[in-house]
Amino acid sequence: MERLDKLLASTGRWSRSEARRLVREGRVLADGRIAASVEEKYDPDAVRLCVDGEGVDLSRFVYVMLHKPAGVLSATEDGRGKTVLDLLPEEYKKRGLFPVGRLDKDTEGLLLLTDDGQLAHELLSPKKHVDKVYFARVDGALTADDCAAFAAGMTLGDGLRCLPAELEIVSSGAQSEARVTVREGKFHQVKRMFAARGKTVVYLKRLSMGPLALDETLAPGAWRALRAEELGMLK
Ligand code: URA
């Protein structure tokens, strides 16, 4: 059981003092009755709260799918530029949402943000080998030798060994397109794997992470809450 002000503040939409004012002004309904005092305690999993007639979402964690656009940093704060948190409502920043893993500034595509540290840890754990699928456009032709090198597990320029990865060539020419599946998330991994084959990535987009696929109806910069079935698959 939690006090009303704590419950309302846990959403990130109001501070504790704002919550107290809302209750004082009679703007909070708890289970259909006007709350008389912030000292009232309720079960967060059972109570139905409304503020100014609008239902309040008391879910313990928030899960957001963002179509990250190029030019935005996968960080929670950065003095020098726009971050992915700047694309979400302020209440999510206040709740402490963070991106699950990083995409480079110029990489687009699927980014999951949450305040569920446990789920983030599971998805990022190197032991779990969660598949990440990318669409890449590179300068130069791609060949069966490149596919074989990705499949064998590459050693990068600095000696770093990569797990076997899958390279599916979509088109090959002066510029080529491919889908790449990696099972780990090393720094600049996809770009460095192509670089080790003498190719420069000119465009990179993450299409999926484990069972979670980018909703292609989301334009770059747009986001939505994860659906219950998507969350179920991730867990
Ligand atoms: N690999 C990269 O090189 N960059 C990304 O943003 C993601 C994977």
| 165-175: pLDDT as tens digits | 999 999 999 99
- Is 120's pLDDT higher than 90? yes
Predicted confidence at residue 57, as pLDDT, reads 87
Mean pLDDT across 23-27 = 97
Average pLDDT score, the chain: 94
Predicted confidence at residue 133, as pLDDT, reads 98
Predicted confidence at residue 169, as pLDDT, reads 98
Q: Would you call 131 a catalytic residue per the annotation? A: no
- Is 59's pLDDT higher than 90? no
d(CA 168, CA 181): 9
Give the pLDDT band of residue 235 (cuts 50, 70, 90): confident
- Is 157's pLDDT higher than 90? no
| Cα→Cα distances 53→29, 37, 43, 50, 225, Å | 8, 18, 20, 5, 22
d(CA 153, CA 193): 10
Which residue in the block uniquely carries the two structure tokens 């190029």? 70
Q: What count of other Cβ atoms lies within 10 Å of the Cβ of residue 150?
A: 25
Mean pLDDT across 83-89 = 95
Query: Which residues line ligand 1 at a C-beta cut-off of 6 Å?
Result: 103-104, 107, 188-191, 204
- Is 95's pLDDT higher than 90? no
Predicted confidence at residue 12, as pLDDT, reads 81
Contact between 63 and 231 (Cβ < 8 Å): yes
Mean pLDDT across 153-160 = 89
Q: Which one is catalytic: 78, 104, 115, 131?
A: 104
With b meaning 16 or more CB within 10 Å and e meaning fewer, what string describes 74-109? bbeeeeeeebbbebbeeebbebebbbbbbbbeebbb
Predicted confidence at residue 60, as pLDDT, reads 82
| Cα→Cα distances 141→18, 98, 152, 158, Å | 60, 37, 19, 24
- Is 79's pLDDT higher than 80? no
Residues of the chain above pLDDT 90, percent:
81
- Is 80's pLDDT higher than 90? no
Give the pLDDT band of residue 93 (cuts 50, 70, 90): confident
Predicted confidence at residue 73, as pLDDT, reads 95
Q: Which atom of ligand 1 is nearest to the CA of 132?
A: 8
- Is 158's pLDDT higher than 90? no
Predicted confidence at residue 101, as pLDDT, reads 92
User: Whose alpha carbon is nearest atom 4 of ligand 1?
Assistant: 188
| Cα→Cα distances 112→36, 87, 93, 124, 233, Å | 39, 13, 14, 11, 14
Of 67, 104, 197, the residue with max ligand 1 atoms within 8 A of its CB, to mutate for a pocket test, comes to: 104
d(CA 104, CA 162): 19
